[in-house]
Amino acid sequence: MNARHIVLPERAQPGETVARVSGVTLERGGRALLDDVSLEVRAGEVLALLGPNGAGKSTLLGVLSGDTAPDRGDVVFGGRPLADWSLTELSRRRSVLLQDNQLLFPFTVHQVVEMGRAPWRRTPLEDEDNEAISESIEAADIAHLGNRRVPSLSGGERARTAFARVMAGRTGVLMLDEPTAALDLGHQEAVLGLARQRALAGDAVLVVLHDLNLAAAYADRIALLRDGAIAACDAPDRVLTAETISEVYRSPVEVIPHPVTGKGIVLPLRG
């Protein structure tokens, strides 16, 4: 196909819905992994999916990204049914970081990040490849690892490499499944800081997190899941209350204001 005849995706306006699920249900082995879930992902914001283990966070992200088809309900992306998009079209509009991003082949770090530019091959945006790759490697703090083979990396280094690959795609939608799970404190803050920057620039960011306090610090909205259903969806200060978190996680907590930002900090009640 001639690159001049390829229609490149337009960026959504801030606040515009880029993806949504309506009445989505997904069952496996007689158990509802998702139970009548409805949710919107909007441009210009970070939407965090929180909840206990097994609540359905990664499953919901998989449905929204197109990796998992629900049994019932509607999934819409870019104003069209998700099933109407080709894989190539989707790969130019959303980047997905899966929870399990293991690579079996001994690619170098630079080669892995370069893979994030594959959707733009033979398009006018191919000219941005070198800039996008270099920018993502620098942002993920892996420039010193460029020629290392992925199997030789630590878990945190692999996670940052996978994140850089997703960033290099420069799509308008980022879907990140536990991007901070293997990272130290500094790199957790850096990764979510980059996600926040992308949202401020107009991108939509959907991120699965376990750390409630990271979500409080960086998310615009939080969707709190419990047993495959949405228990709450609102601004962090409305969702992360002691009553709601204690009930959903079945563990007593208190929420106190951060001494500088004033945002809530969730602390377990011990003893």
Residue 191's pLDDT is: 94
Q: Per residue, what are the HEC states of the chain?
A: CCHHHCCCCCCCCCCCEEEEEEEEEEEECCEEEEEEEEEEEECCEEEEEECCCCCCHHHHHHHHHCCCCCCEEEEEECCEEHHHCCHHHHHCCCEEECCCCCCCCCCEHHHHHHHCCHHHCCCHHHHHHHHHHHHHHHHCCCHHHCCCEHHHCCHHHHHHHHHHHHHHCCCCEEEEECCCCCCCHHHHHHHHHHHHHHHHCCCEEEEECCCHHHHHHHCCEEEEEECCEEEEEECHHHHCCHHHHHHHHCCCEEEEECCCCCCEEEEECCC
In angstroms, rounded to a whole number, what is the distance separating the alpha carbons of residues 139 and 196?
13
pTM: 0.93
In angstroms, rounded to a whole number, what is the distance separating the alpha carbons of residues 239 and 189?
21
Residue 100's pLDDT is: 73
pLDDT band at 7; cut points 50, 70, 90: low
* Strands 264-268 vs 95-97: parallel, antiparallel or unpaired: unpaired
Residue 99's pLDDT is: 81
**Average pLDDT in the 88-94 region?**
95
User: Is the predicted pLDDT of residue 49 greater than 50, yes or no?
Assistant: yes
Are 97 and 78 a contacting pair, CB within 8 Å? Answer: no
pLDDT band at 2; cut points 50, 70, 90: very low
Residue 63's pLDDT is: 97
Inter-CA distances, 221 with 50, 83, 216, 218, Å: 11, 27, 9, 9
Look up tokens 């080709």; give the residue. Answer: 86
pLDDT band at 105; cut points 50, 70, 90: confident
Q: Which of 14-18, 34-38, 101-105 has the lowest mean pLDDT?
A: 101-105
- What the block records as the tokens of 4 is 């001049």
**Average pLDDT in the 55-65 region?**
97
- What the block records as the tokens of 199 is 């949202």
Look up tokens 């929180």; give the residue. Answer: 50
What is the rounded average pLDDT for all residues in the chain? 93
| pLDDT tens-digit series, residues 180-224 | 998 999 999 999 999 999 999 999 999 999 999 999 999 999 999
**Average pLDDT in the 135-157 region?**
94
**Average pLDDT in the 98-114 region?**
84
User: Is the predicted pLDDT of residue 1 greater than 60, yes or no?
Assistant: no
- Spell out the domains of the chain, with CATH numbers in brackets: 3-94+171-268 (3.40.50.300)
